[in-house]
Amino acid sequence: MKIFCIGRNYVAHAKELGNEIPDEPVVFMKPKSALLQPHTPFYYPEFTNELHYECELVLRISKNGKYIQDKFASKYYDAVTTGIDFTARDIQNDLKAKGLPWEKAKAWDNSAAIGKWVPFTAIKNKKDINFCLYKNKELVQQSNCNLMIHDFDSIVAYISNYFSVNIGDLVFTGTPAGVGELVVGDELEGFIEDDSLLSLEIK
């Protein structure tokens, strides 16, 4: 199982971190060990002093493929949920300043949380999905997938040019504006439309 992540896929988020708007998807990966297992507590990592949340829509790959065309890409994923790409922002900023890879800031154990899956058969319009994140019952991120620079199909097709996609792989499709810092005791809850799919506490 692989975890693909797309960076800078919402214009407002790229701007809030002072990044350029990319012409093509920015792809990075997390290992299988990054996935927070169900009913497993999330502990604030000891190596960072600036832990950030990034709420995203996550796709579940349902078919093996490579070199997938955009027009066929929707056949390769079957469900969506909310996820959180936890980021050690202080470490990421230091790595970026040195021109180094982000793995230490993004790919550590339990750095990827996902919620309950919603099959696309239950979604009225896959190009019009509202999602949001609450921190301590306060709305901190809210967006719609129609604001993504690169949509679901183009992301899956693009990834497949470089990596095989396999059943069970996950695709984090990018975070909108509103990312922010977390402290121990914070509670997060992620929604698609009015359905609460993800809930966890920072311990």
CATH number at residue 14: 3.90.850.10
Q: Residue 42 falls within a domain, yes or no? A: no
Sort 99 into a burial class: Cβ within 10 Å, 0-12 / 13-18 / 19+. Answer: exposed
Domain count, the chain: 1
Among residues 18, 30, 12, 20, which one has the least CA distance to residue 172? 30
Q: Residue 122 falls within a domain, yes or no? A: yes
This prediction has a pTM of 0.95
Q: Residue 98 falls within a domain, yes or no? A: yes
Percent of the chain clearing pLDDT 90 (strictly above): 90
User: What is residue 15's predicted lDDT score, i.e. its pLDDT?
Assistant: 64
**161-177 pLDDT, tens per residue?**
999 999 999 999 999 99
User: What is residue 18's predicted lDDT score, i.e. its pLDDT?
Assistant: 66
Q: Which residues of the chain have pLDDT under 70?
A: 12-19
CA atoms of 100 and 92, how far apart (whole Å):
9
